[in-house]
Amino acid sequence: MERTGANPSLLGYGCMRFPMDPETKHIDEARAAALIRRAMEGGITYYDTAWPYHDGESEPFLGRTLSQYPRDSYYLATKLPCWEINSRQQAAELFERQLERLQTGYVDFYLLHSLSRKTWQRMLELDVLSLLEEYRRQGKICRLGFSFHDSYEAFEEILNYREWDFCQIQLNYMDVNHQAGLRGLELARSRGVPVVVMEPVKGGSLAQLPQEVTEPLKGLDPAASDASWALRWVASQPGVAVVLSGMSTPEQLEENLDTFSRFRPLDEGEKQAVEKTADRLRSRLKNGCTGCRYCLPCPKGVDIPKNFQIWNNMAMYGNRTLTGRAWRDLEPGARGDQCVGCGRCETLCPQHIPIREHLSRLAGEVEAFLE
């Protein structure tokens, strides 16, 4: 990060999973503020929020909480919700509202949120970039970057378009070839663009692994948590400047502070142990669906890749909570048991997956697992 004139902590606070009040369904501000206080005490100086987090509550909460600290004692990152933007003027108004919500005159790290090739093209057409560059000249934005969810090729196109101050990608030891992936990290590093990493623990999947896959890790350090291995793997990658973790409880925060307070990059033996764990996880896959979506649309509305993602994650990570959440989020009409066996999808699948046969087993297996 030196080239940007910033020196944030390696562990960053992702501000999208604050504790919630079960009754009001709003952020539990007392508990969340206690987490921020402890994070500041523990040396976390990078706070990553965004316009939509917590249905718009994250930015104002963070503004109220962090404004109690000297403005130069932390770095604030927030993002422009590109998918909501229809004009340059609207982007300008939204940015000014973000400054108000955050109770600040400037944002240390500002990102175009969740760029894909499509939203990037739209930002170019609306000339939003020149607006943000103007804010950067005025000092309202200190560093300009983007967060990303699309193919490596789209990442390359966006990264090479201009001299970005930083970028943010999804990366963890199971998703090395997903989206920008390790190739994208290497490209950014070769261009001197610091990288902030999100989803280092894959939405919690790598925090509670089935016992039988973690033997290589436990053999090296029986006391180290599964999450600490995932975080250290990401933080050991050359070019990674900040690793974001969305911490919801004091226990998670303390564990992460502990991991990073005595952080050292993985050595060769440790890297191999993580690789072996990843191989063991992959060997549990039900099928090799890559999520390419070539098989869609299904005339019955089955979301084939989503079904396979849930099924594969269930088999790999054995996590009831995460599987249950994903299954409930999938509309009943999009579930595998709606398949009528027409076979159209199978002619289109480059992985030659016997989609009908797999879908016929899937819903029953997921439901049995969740019982």
CB of 350 to ligand SF4, least distance (A): 6
Closest CA to 363 of 316, 311, 313: 311
Which range binds ligand SF4 by CB under 6 A, 37-45, 212-220, 251-259, 283-291?
Answer: 283-291
Q: How far is the CB of 301 from ligand SF4 (least distance, A)?
A: 8
> How far apart, in whole angstroms, are the C-alpha atoms of residue 253 and residue 245?
9
Q: How far is the CB of 308 from ligand SF4 (least distance, A)?
A: 6
* 289 touches ligand SF4 by CB under 6 A: yes
Give the residue with the Cβ less far from ligand SF4, 5 or 299. Answer: 299
CA-to-CA distance for 241 and 196, rounded, in angstroms?
6
Q: How far apart are CA 346 and CA 353, in angstroms?
A: 7
Rounded to whole angstroms, the Cα distance separating 21 from 5 reads 38
Options 147-155, 158-166, 184-192, 289-297: segment touching ligand SF4 (CB under 6 A): 289-297
Report, in Å, the least distance between residue 57 CB and ligand SF4: 35
Distance from C-alpha of 327 to C-alpha of 315, rounded to nearest angstrom:
14
For residues 233 to 272, the per-residue mask of contacts with ligand SF4, x marking binding by CB under 6 A and - elsewhere, is ----------------------------------------
Shortest separation between residue 338's beta carbon and ligand SF4, angstroms = 7
CB of 36 to ligand SF4, least distance (A): 40
Burial class (CB in 10 A: 0-12, 13-18, 19+), 112: buried
| Strand 75-80, strand 240-245: pairing | unpaired
Radius of gyration, alpha carbons of the chain:
21
**One residue of 42, 60, 210, 305 binding ligand SF4 per CB under 6 A:** 305
Per rule CB under 6 A, is residue 298 in the interface with ligand SF4?
Answer: yes
Tell me whether residue 269 or residue 364 sits nearer to ligand SF4 (CB atom): 364
CB of 286 to ligand SF4, least distance (A): 12
Whole-angstrom distance, CA of residue 286 vs CA of residue 357? 12
Stretch that binds ligand SF4, among 56-64, 245-253, 262-270, 294-302 (CB under 6 A): 294-302
Q: How many residues contact ligand SF4, by CB under 6 A? A: 28
Residue 36 to residue 48: CA distance in whole angstroms: 12
Alpha carbon distances (Å) from 241 to 11, 19, 65, 244: 9, 26, 25, 10
Counting Cβ atoms within 10 Å, is residue 14 exposed (0-12), middle (13-18) or buried (19+)? buried
Q: Which residue number, 167 or 302, has a Cβ lying nearer to ligand SF4?
A: 302
Residue 246, C-beta contacts closer than 8 angstroms, at least 6 positions apart: 13, 14, 15, 16, 17
What letters, b where the CB count within 10 A reaches 16 and e where it falls short, cover 161-196?
eeebbbbbbbbbbbbeebbbbbebbebbeeeebbbb
Q: How far is the CB of 319 from ligand SF4 (least distance, A)?
A: 21
**22 vs 299, beta carbon nearer ligand SF4:** 299
- 191 is an interface residue for ligand SF4 by CB under 6 A: no
Residues sharing a CB contact under 8 Å with residue 153, sequence separation 6 or more, in sequence order: none
Considering only residues 292, 321, 354, 364, which one is a binding residue for ligand SF4 as defined by CB under 6 A? 292
Q: Judged by CB under 6 A, does residue 111 bind ligand SF4?
A: no
Residue of the chain from 209, 302, 314, 362 that contacts ligand SF4 (CB under 6 A):
302
What is the rounded CA–CA span in Å between residue 7 and residue 17? Answer: 24
Contact flags string 121-150 toward ligand SF4, x per CB under 6 A = ------------------------------
| 291 in contact with ligand SF4 (CB under 6 A) | yes
Considering only residues 310 to 369 of the shown chain, the ones binding ligand SF4 according to CB under 6 A are 339-345, 348-349, 351, 353, 355-356, 359
Q: Name the DSSP letter for residue 10.
A: S
For residues 337 and 302, give the distance between their C-alpha atoms in angstroms, rounded to a whole number.
Answer: 8
Contacting positions for ligand SF4 (CB under 6 A): 289-295, 298-300, 302, 304-305, 308, 339-345, 348-349, 351, 353, 355-356, 359
